[in-house]
Amino acid sequence: MTIQLYNTLTRRKEPFQPLEKDRVHFYVCGPTVYNFIHIGNARVFVFFDVVRRYLTYRGYEVHYIQNFTDVDDRLIKQSIEEGRAVPEVAESYIKAYFEDMDDLGVNRADVHPRATEHIKEMQDAIRALIKKGYAYEVDGDVYYRPLKKEDYGQLSNQPLEELKAGARIEMNDRKDNPLDFALWKKAKPGEISWDSPWGKGRPGWHIECSAMARKYLGDTLDIHAGGMDLCFPHHENEIAQSEAWTGKPFARYWLHNGFINMGAEKMSKSLGNVERVRDLRSRYTGRELRWFLLSAHYRNPISFSDESIRQIGGAIARIDTAVTNLSHRIGAALDGEAEKVMRERLRTLTVDFEKAMDDDLNTANAISVLFEGVHLANELVARDVVSRGSLEAVLGWLNHFGGDILGLVKTTREVDLEAEIEAKIEERQQARRDRDFSRADAIRDELAAQGILLEDTPQGVRWRRK
């Protein structure tokens, strides 16, 4: 079974076949670091983090690149507002970005190239495009002519006529055509700038991805991903430039994720309902947010609300309890290998998990398979007789698929109880043996107040943190 991916370029699911058999060249459009990222940005980074992990699990050597746009109009604007230089602003939000991502369990990309560190590569690209007649200079600006290639509009499925007719014309009479876009922007006085053959200026937005993707991944990418809104014009323009520049197809699979709505309305700055990850982290755990982002299929919209996250909390508790109970039961289990029937059931779960992920990365279904694993774990824990091998096999399965791949299951073991609390538990056990239940209940309540929940089982007292 091969992985099927919905390719925006062809508007259907296609079997995934990288250019090189076992290697995947994967580029994700990263954030513009002019501010803290919001939950919508996070969806991109969390989801494609899972895609990368899954492809790695499937045996591919994944080269995963995600850029930082660290110079553009918004950064310049922000730097004026904050009274700090652009590089300083960028640096601080890059740092913030990593803090947010660490909390959401997103792994680092292989390289996080920054636009400002690739000015030379971009200038090379621009020079080449001018030479080929795709770009032209006008008084320190350089523009690209997307219409020179007749297949422009292919990715976003926009007929050229419509693009021409519907273009909201930017008031700029220096362009030959309204659809032309800037590769290089002339610096205004006082703005951050770099020397170039066209005078002092800075790169346009689209060219950075083309230049950096080529540098780190080569002429043709296997997967290029980002939010749906980047489809037009950003990705369309990247294709135009890159293909004009290299003469090769730019990317083979284009993946775009859907948006997050705030309740029923779209999240937007003008509505003032943008939820920053930074702020959400003070209310929710990174895991809850990550789970929320993976709980629906990536191309579907998801609606953010406190109620949805609250429900996620219940689901997480179910899995955590199963993991805790499994660990506790392992302590009292008989030595022994995993039963054959158990290995077979886990094998089936693995197949189901792969089936879900192979079908256009259906994390919602993958999570439901995780719960089948939880159910299996709970059945085992409740048995009078069970081998340690079986318990460990299930725990290992949950950790691997729920933890390593989805990043949702906590793989760290609880630290040992402090001696004081252990003494309390023993004291309560003695009270129970003496049938002094009011004393026993009082101790249980006392620990509960500290967030320690006690559960009596045939294998002794089990505890977990609330």
Chain residues 293-332 in contact with RNA, contact rule CB under 7 A: 295-297, 300-303, 307-308, 310-311, 314-315, 317-318, 321-322, 325
Give the position of tokens 């954030």: 31
Contact between 204 and RNA (CB under 7 A)? yes
Residue (219 or 278) nearer to RNA, CB:
278
In terms of Cα–Cα distance, which of 408, 398, 414 is closest to 452? 414
CA 384-385-390 angle, 5° bins: 125
Candidate ranges 17-25, 127-135, 178-186, 387-395; the one touching RNA (CB under 7 A): 178-186
* Rounded least distance, CB 24 to RNA, Å: 20
* Rounded least distance, CB 416 to RNA, Å: 20
Instruction: Point out the annotated binding site for ATP.
Output: 269
Q: Distance (Å, rounded) from C-alpha 97 to C-alpha 37?
A: 7
State residue 27 phi and psi, 5-degree precision: -125, 130
Give the position of tokens 């340690």: 388
* Rounded least distance, CB 236 to RNA, Å: 9
CB atoms within 10 A of CB 132: 12
* Rounded least distance, CB 170 to RNA, Å: 6
8 A C-beta contact, residue 50 and residue 405: yes
Residues 231-270 that bind RNA (CB under 7 A): 231-234, 257-261, 264-267
- Interface with RNA (CB under 7 A), residue from 61, 102, 195, 229: 229
Candidate ranges 122-130, 215-223, 405-413, 438-446; the one touching RNA (CB under 7 A): 438-446
- Interface with RNA (CB under 7 A), residue from 115, 122, 163, 207: 163
* Rounded least distance, CB 380 to RNA, Å: 9
Per-residue contact flags (x/-) with RNA for residues 124 to 153, judged by CB under 7 A: ------------------------------
8 A C-beta contact, residue 331 and residue 391: no
Residues 71-90 that bind RNA (CB under 7 A): 72-74
Host H or E run for residue 136: strand 135-138
Residues 360-389 that bind RNA (CB under 7 A): 360, 362, 364-365, 367-368, 371-372, 374-375, 378-379, 381-382
Q: Distance (Å, rounded) from C-alpha 395 to C-alpha 320?
A: 11
Contact between 116 and RNA (CB under 7 A)? no
Residue (23 or 123) nearer to RNA, CB:
123
- Interface with RNA (CB under 7 A), residue from 16, 26, 60, 181: 181
- Interface with RNA (CB under 7 A), residue from 7, 67, 79, 156: 156
Contact between 454 and RNA (CB under 7 A)? yes
Contact between 287 and RNA (CB under 7 A)? no
In terms of Cα–Cα distance, which of 194, 176, 169, 168 is closest to 137? 176
Total chain residues near RNA (CB under 7 A): 91
Contact between 227 and RNA (CB under 7 A)? yes
Instruction: Point out the annotated binding site for Zn(2+).
Output: 29, 209, 234, 238
Residue (212 or 315) nearer to RNA, CB:
315
8 A C-beta contact, residue 361 and residue 54: yes
Contact between 272 and RNA (CB under 7 A)? no
Contact between 359 and RNA (CB under 7 A)? yes
- Interface with RNA (CB under 7 A), residue from 32, 66, 116, 387: 32
Q: Distance (Å, rounded) from C-alpha 396 to C-alpha 316?
A: 18
8 A C-beta contact, residue 290 and residue 408: yes
8 A C-beta contact, residue 403 and residue 410: yes
Instruction: Point out the annotated binding site.
Output: 29, 209, 234, 238, 269
In terms of Cα–Cα distance, which of 412, 402, 413, 396 is closest to 50? 402
Residues 5-24 that bind RNA (CB under 7 A): 11
SS3 107: coil
8 A C-beta contact, residue 56 and residue 357: no
Q: What DSSP string describes 157-189? A: T--HHHHHHH----S-TTSSSTT-EEEEEEPPT
Residue (59 or 166) nearer to RNA, CB:
166
Host H or E run for residue 255: strand 251-257
Beta bridge partners of 258: none
8 A C-beta contact, residue 92 and residue 79: no
